[in-house]
Amino acid sequence: MGVAASHSGDAVEEPRVGSLVLVGTPIGNLSDLSERAKHTLMSADCLVAEDTRNAKKLLSHLGIKGKKTVSLYGERRVEARRIAEWVVSGQVVALTSDAGMPGVSDPGGEVVKEVRLVGAKVTVVPGPSALTSAIALCDFPVDDFRFVGFLDKVASKRRESLKAFRDSQIATVAFEAPHRIAQSVADIKEIYGENHRMLLAKELTKLYETSLSASVGEIEQSEMVALPRGEYVMVISALPKQVLSPPELIRIFGLLSDLNLGAKATSDLLANLTGISKNDAYALYQVEKSKR
């Protein structure tokens, strides 16, 4: 804190400049917390956390005691506008998520919005991210991707979203809870086809970190899905840009139809050969069969 000379010659204290500091926290391994993040948490006037219980565990690990800690949820919930007022008053406020970067699938973005609205300073201390860690583990191209947070809990809405992701022809990254992972992977298989490639990762940076890059069908049958544990990250590869045109699909269907394999076998084979979903393949089968 600096001082400045007044007209009378007396030293006066300069007003303290507050700021909001977004601090990345470990996503599972406390050793991943940076020295800069530690210093920021120690020196901040206040810590705004997603959950104060998790924040206090982190502070205890760092040996930080007596830090004012408030939450964006629960009994100690503080409005984002109130936090902005603290920053304007000159306080340095550290904003954290339970794991990873604040503002990514948590309400931190509302705090950033309010602080920017009052013209106060916002800075970032980057840290671990499940999003970028999962992308780094991919053995397929993810140069262009969409991050969608958690998939919808409602099955019909989830499948509609997956259809839109598929048709966009860019990779999709999503988080998923353990109790929904089996159904979500099943939906991905239905929409993208069982031979479509994806990566599934769980327990990133922890002792039992696991990742698997394989076809959706193989992942559905894996132990990672059969024995769900921990938070999951899914990276669904993009459909090839060279998608078959409708006339080409119809031509291939005609060749398969001549084999007289039946509706299911023909649809499954069409999906496997062309990359379209089994539902779309069956719909094409019904339409084309009705014309014959």
Confidence of residue 1 (pLDDT cuts 50, 70, 90): very low
Q: How far apart are CA 222 and CA 82, in angstroms?
A: 47
For the stretch 25-70, pLDDT in tens is 999 999 999 999 999 999 999 999 988 999 999 999 999 999 999 9
Residue range 71-89: average pLDDT?
84
Q: Which fold has domain 131-236?
A: 3.30.950
Is the model's pLDDT at 5 over the cut of 50? no
User: What whole-number distance in Å separates Cα of residue 210 and Cα of residue 277?
Assistant: 27
Q: Which CATH number fits domain 14-128: 3.40.640.10, 3.40.1010.10, 3.40.50.720, 3.40.50.1000?
A: 3.40.1010.10
pTM > 0.85 = no
Residue 216 parent element (H or E): helix 216-220
Region 147-173: what's the mean pLDDT?
95
Predicted confidence (pLDDT) per residue in 236-284, tens digit: 999 876 556 778 888 888 888 888 888 889 888 888 788 777 888 888 8
Site of tokens 């269907």 = 253
d(CA 21, CA 76) in angstroms, rounded, equals 20
What is the domain partition of the chain in residue ranges?
14-128, 131-236, 246-291
- The Cα 20–Cα 116 span in angstroms is 9
pLDDT in tens, 81-138: 999 999 999 999 999 999 999 988 888 899 999 999 999 999 999 999 999 999 999 9
